[in-house]
Every structure is written in structure tokens, then in C-alpha cells.
Amino acid sequence: MAKEREISIKDVRVDDGFWNGRITNAVEKVVPYQWRVLNDREPGAVPSHAVQNFRIAAGLAEGEFGGFRFQDSDLAKWIEAASYSLLYKDSPEVREALEEIVGLIEKAQQPDGYLDTYFILAKPEERWKDIAHGHELYCAGHMLEAAVAYYQVAGSDRLLKVMEKTVALIRQTFGEDKGQISSYPGHEEIELALMKAYRATGKDEYKELAEYFIENRGSKPGFLEEPHFQDAQKNRWFGASYHQAHAKIRDQKTAEGHAVRAMYFFTGAADVALETGDPTLKAALEELWKNVTQRRMYVTGGVGSQGEGECFTIDYDLPNDTCYTETCAAIGLAMWALRMLRLEPKAEYADIMERALYNNVLSGIAQDGEHYFYVNPLQLKPDVARFRRDHQDVEPNRVKWFGCACCPPNITRTLCGLGSYIYTRRGDALYQHLYIGNEAQFDTAQGKAELRCTSSMPWEGKAQIAYSGPSGIELYLRIPEYAVDFQIEKDGQPVKFEACQGYARLCPQDGGTYTVTFAMPARYLQANPRVTEDCGKACVQRGPLVYCAEQADNGELLNAFTADLSQPLETSPSELFGGIVTVKASGTRPDLAQWESLYQPAGTGRVPAELRLQPYFLWNNRGEGEMLVWFNAR
């Protein structure tokens, strides 16, 4: 098997009609906006305290630690996003801000390499005493990811040198030798970060520590005898499974516990499996992937159905109005999918990655870039959300920031780093997973090669891929699961291709341009009958986009509509949001004039009705109102 080689984030630049505006907004507006928030300078936003904590820890300000114990991670994700933003705009202001914050981090780091402002300022006597919930390794992981991004894009190793000292301390602290702690992170993240650092630097110590944490997870006692863990697990949702520590990874058959932790864990494990070539670890991840995507995932690519514990529950338990489906969890699912594609390029992984990115991830940020959803429901009645206790996590509107603000900078780093999701490599075989317009370059055994993709997605199934470079490489183009009549032409002539695990295999020559076309009819989807909440219902998908109905187009009582599945869905272009494709569903709704009592005999009259639908990720950009993805159907 040809060895996979990572494509550098610097080698792919997105240039796409759908994504350009979103990336430009992130680069020019959102990155500076979030810097103001992190510095507590944005009116109306919940104070972050993140930068101030580092100022205090650096001895440049006085005060007490503010925010959650994992507040450092918000800043780390911003550093990563800001670094990636330099790929699109080499902003002196952003570079200055990055240099400023790296300088603070250098000063805040303790002489032995320790770096965590919560424990430096608030609980210095409890360093490494609360592995289950302390988030020290989680924060270190995000800061290590930030250091790698800053190193790869900005060309500065200042933060990487800081994190080298921190990782050296972690290696000294954790392990099986006398005096070391035999444990693993409470909140996974550092594992995937260590693998990023390994690939960026080639230093084996990063890979070895990642492998240790992956393989040791689930060992007893680990952190399971810590007083902090014992106190937390009095709540049934915060036991070992909450941390994915209930069993070794090869013995885990279902995705359990905190959804973000699980996604980050599986992502790091896939990175390790790729480097070690361990078939048993790969097989375990494949089984977990099947459980998540075939039994525990929403149609929008959201995962984690319960608010308490932000967790998975049981197979097919997918409520629409109380679901948690945290934005970070969908980002984690996309990250895991990308690693599974590196392990084995199968289109089913790319289908899910695309589903998550275009739906649950994008729904987490408003069009203005300055308002966010943490929780992404598939059904909303604002008055119910405000009143009922089981809706306490659901916001009727996006907000400017959160006290627990993991999602906003996570979205920004995803948008600015989107190019990393488009391709993977196996030797001199290049796989294009997403039809996102871009310019890419990569080295082959025969020399440098370049690709340029021009795309009409997600509104039209059409893309042009131009190749220049040496012969002898293989190009694999994904055949989306929703594509109808998938065709490839070259110079106006049909191209015969071999289909391999959902990809069309081509052998391009220098100067060759391929045109890929496929139909994307809007279609009704129905859920497995075991999904109680969706029984007798349908939703609409067109291409990668899941659609929803909003009160702004349809009035109130969206749940009263019943779609007639025998009637075709109608699509039409719309000028909404700068140009989208909308869908119209035909059916009936009750004649409300005949309803005066709370209950009455069945058979009360119905009248013809239409439901106008827009892409789910755009909901709540036109004011507050009802929203519905799954509607009654017959």
C-alpha cells in the first residue's frame, strides 16, 4: 500500500463561489472581532478573560483568573484561525496580535514548562491532580495545534518552542515509570495535536506520547480513582463512559459519552493507526464509525443528542427539538472523517465530512460572522425553547459570544483552514473529496504538479478540474452518494473511468482539463423507523444541503403541514442571501377555521398547502421564528 503523505495547509488555497465570501468574512471581520472579544473589548459580548488571564500569569497585570478552567483553549483556537487567515490576507495587524499574544504566553509559561493559566493563577497546588476534569492536557493540545499552525503558515517557531517545553514536561509527568502518572486526558484533544506536531517536525516524541495516551485510555485506574472523578460520577452522566474511558478502544463498540471528546479521541486514534499501520485499531475505528453515522448521527451531520453531559445516548435516539448537536462535535466529526480518508479513501467518509461541513458546522455561525449557535436543533418553537426546562440549552437566536466559547473560534479555524479538507494523498495518487474551488500544488516522484478546481457547488453539480504536471500520477474524483448521472468529459468528449470505492479513477496528462457533471435533484429522505421522533416524517435534501422551513416564509404552525410524497419537489433560484436555491414541497395542512376546541373527532378538514424551504445552515438569519427540518409526510 502506498504511504499517505499529508498535503500542507499552505499548498491548497480555496477560491470558490460559495466559500469565498465566508472565508473572506472570517479573515477580514471575524478574526479581528474575536480578538476584541478575547481582549474583553467588544460591547455586548460575554467577557472572555482569556487574554487577561495570560497578562496576569505573565506578571503584566493584577487580578484573579476569570472564566472556565479551559479558557486558554479559546485563545489557542483563535491563534490557529488567525494563522490560517494569513494564507488569504497577510495582515500586519493580525501578525502584530499574534506576536503580542505569543509574547504573553512565553512570559506566562512556568520555568519547568507548565502552561495553564487556571492552575497557575487559581489552583497552583492542584497541578495534575484533576486529570478527569482539569482540562490541562486539553488546553495543551489546542495550544500545540496553534503552535503548529503558526509555525507552518507564519514561519515562526516561537510558540512551538514554548510547547516543546510543555510537551517535555507532560512526557516526564505521564507514563509507567516510577513517580509518573499512569493515566490519559480527561478531555481528549492533545492526541491529535501531538500527531500534527509529529508530522510538522518529524520528532518521534510527539508520536510516542500520542500513542501512549490512545493505547492507555480505558486502563484502570487511570483517573477513575481521583476524588474529582468520584464526585462528578455521582451524576450518572459523568462516569467513565463520559470520558470514553469505560474500555480500551478496541473493545469499544458504540460511541459513548461527551460527543466532542469522542470525536477528538477517534480523530487522534485514526492518526495513530495511520502511522503504526495497526489493522486492529483501524478495524475498531471502522466499527465505531458505523455506529456513529448509521445509528447516532442527525441528517445534518450533528452528533450528541443529549444536553446533560453533551453526550450520545442510545442507538436511534435522535430528538429534534431538544437535541444538543454542538457545533464543535460536528467539526470533530469532519476531522475524524478526514483521518478515516487518510486511512482508506472511501467515499462514504467524504460524504459524511461534506454533510457535517455544509450543514451543522455552518449553522453555528450567522451570516454576519459575529453571532453563534452552540446548540443546533432541527426543530424550534421560540416560546417553547424559552419556557421548558428540557430546552434550557437551546437558544432561539444566535448570540455574540458564550461564557463557554469553544465553538466560535473553532468555526473560524475551520473556515480559514478549509483547504485541508479537500484532498488526501496516497503516494502519487491524489484524492479529491470535496468539489470546492481551489488552487493546489504538490510534489510527486516525477516533479511538481498543480490542480485548479472551479466549482458550481453546492447549487449546481458541476466542476472543472485542470491538471498541469508530470504524467504517472492518479487522480481520484469522488462520486457523491446523491449524484445522479455522474459524468466526466475531457475536451468535450466523454471519459470512461474505473469506479473505486466511490471515486472515479483518472490518469491525467499535463494540460488536461476534466469537466465533472451530475444532477442533484431535491429529494425526500425518511429516517429508519427506529428513530421514534421521525417516524411518519420526511425531510428534504438537495446535493449536500439539508433544507428546513422557517416561519419567515410559511407562517406559524410549521408542524401542522403534511407533505404529499407523491408530488414532486420544485426547485427555484432565489435572491435570498446573495443567491441560493430554494425548494417547494406540496401537501396539506389543517383548516384552522374548523378548530375551536382542544380535541375533536378525527377527519377534520384539510386544505392544500405548500412549504417553502431554504438550506438549514441559513436559518435564523432573518429574525426569530419557528424552524422545522422533519415534517409530517404521507
Task: Choose the final residue of a domain: 496, 519, 542.
Answer: 519
- Which residue, among 308, 335, 338, 343, has the nearest Cα to 323 in the 3D structure? 308
Grid cell at residue 500: 473505486
Compute the distance between CA of residue 243 and CA of residue 238 in angstroms, rounded to an integer. 8
Residue at 499 is within a domain: yes
Alpha-carbon gap, residue 60 to 108, rounded angstroms: 9
β-sheet bridge partners, residue 611: 585
User: Which residues are CB-neighbours of 285 under 8 A, at least 6 positions away?
Assistant: 249, 266, 269, 270, 273, 340, 343
What pLDDT is stored for residue 491 in this prediction?
86
Closest CA relative to residue 46, chosen from 488, 445, 404: 404
Q: Are 414 and 331 in contact (CB under 8 A)?
A: yes
Residue 3 within a domain: no
* Under 8 Å between Cβ of 48 and 98: no
Among 377, 393, 394, which Cα is nearest to 627's? 377
Residue 4 confidence (pLDDT): 62
Confirm if 7 and 440 have CB atoms less than 8 A apart. Answer: yes
Place of cell 510543555: 166
CA–CA separation, 627 and 558 (whole Å): 7
Q: Give the sign of the dihedral formed by CA 570, CA 573, CA 576, CA 578.
A: positive
Pick from 27, 31, 70: nearest CA to 50? 70
Q: What is the pLDDT of residues 97-129, one digit of tens each?
A: 999 999 999 999 999 999 999 999 999 999 999
In a domain, 4, yes or no: no
Quote the CA–CA distance of 364 and 407 in Å, as a whole number: 8
Question: Could you give the angle at the alpha carbon of 256 between the alpha carbons of 347 and 421, nearest 5°?
Answer: 30
Would you name the residues annotated as active-site residues? 310, 406
The length of the chain, given as a count of residues = 634
Rounded Cα distance, 559 and 290, in Å: 31
Do residues 308 and 453 share a domain?
A: no
Q: Element (H or E) spanning 281, and its range? A: helix 279-295
How distant, in Å, are the alpha carbons of 191, 213, 335 from that of 206? 9, 11, 19
Quick one: pLDDT at residue 603?
85
Distance CA 441, CA 7 (A): 9
Cross-strand pairs, 392: none
pLDDT of residue 2: 46
The single-letter DSSP state of residue 247 is: S
Domain count for the chain, please give it. 3
What is the distance between the alpha carbons of residues 170 and 181, in angstroms, rounded to a whole number? 10
Measured N-to-C along each axis, helices 407-416 and 31-38 cross at an angle, to the nearest 10 degrees, of 150
Residues of the chain with pLDDT under 70: 1-4
Determine the pLDDT at residue 3. 58
User: Which amino acid is it at 597?
Assistant: S
CA dihedral 224, 226, 229, 231 (to 10 degrees): 130
Write out the three cell numbers for 365.
455561525
Residues 59 and 199 occupy one common structural domain: yes
Q: Residue 1 falls within a domain, yes or no?
A: no
pLDDT at 1: 39
Q: Tell me: do 381 and 266 sit in the same domain.
A: yes
**Rounded to the nearest 10 degrees, how much is the dihedral formed by the CA atoms of 431, 343, 436, 81?**
-140
DSSP, collapsed to helix, strand or coil, labels residue 353 as helix
Contact (CB, 8 A) for 428 and 444: yes
CA dihedral defined by 135, 139, 145, 150, rounded to 10 degrees?
A: 180
Q: Which of 421, 443, 466 is the last residue of a domain?
A: 421
Residue in 579, 440, 360, 415 with CA at minimum distance from that of residue 24: 415
Range of the domain at 478: 423-519
CA separation for the pair 181, 157 (Å, rounded): 29
- Cα atoms found within 13 Å of the Cα of residue 44, Cβ hemisphere only: 6
Asked if residue 477 and residue 350 are part of one domain, the reply reads no
Q: At CA 254, angle to CA 248 and CA 258, rounded to 5?
A: 85
The answer to whether residues 382 and 475 belong to one domain is no
Q: What are the cell numbers at 240?
A: 467513565
Looking at the fold, whether 297 and 436 belong to one and the same domain comes out as no
The answer for residues whose C-beta is within 8 angstroms of residue 224's C-beta and 6 or more apart is: 132, 240, 245
Cβ atoms of 618 and 549 closer than 8 Å: no
Say if residue 441 is in the same domain as residue 352: no
* Residue in 74, 43, 63, 116 with CA at minimum distance from that of residue 403: 74
Do 204 and 243 reside in the same domain of the chain?
A: yes
Q: Are residues 530 and 610 in the same domain?
A: yes
Looking at the structure, do residues 395 and 446 belong to the same domain, yes or no?
no
Residue 439 in contact with residue 15, Cβ under 8 Å?
Answer: yes
Closest CA to 304 of 328, 272, 337, 271: 328
Assess if residue 311 is contained within a domain.
yes
Nearest to 344 by CA among 283, 295, 294: 283
Inter-helix orientation angle 259-276/190-201, to 10°: 30
Q: Tell me how far CA of residue 140 lies from CA of 84, 320, 355, in angstroms.
A: 19, 35, 30
Do 544 and 497 have their domain in common?
Answer: no
Rg of the chain over all Cα atoms, to the nearest angstrom: 25
| CATH code for position 490 | 2.60.420
pLDDT at residue 604 in the model: 84
Out of 421, 449, 467, a domain closes at 421
In the DSSP assignment, the letter for residue 226 is S
pLDDT, tens only, 588-602: 999 999 998 999 999
3-state secondary structure of 423: strand
pLDDT of residue 376: 98
Q: How far apart are CA 440 and CA 600, in angstroms?
A: 64
Of 280, 289, 302, nearest to 254 (Cα)? 289
> What CATH number is attached to the domain comprising 207?
1.50.10.10
Backbone angles phi, psi at 209, to 5 degrees: -70, -40
Which element (helix H / strand E) includes 195?
helix 190-201
Residue 101 placed within a domain? yes
Looking at the domain assignment, is residue 377 inside a domain?
yes
Same domain, 445 and 321: no
> Is residue 551 in some structural domain?
yes
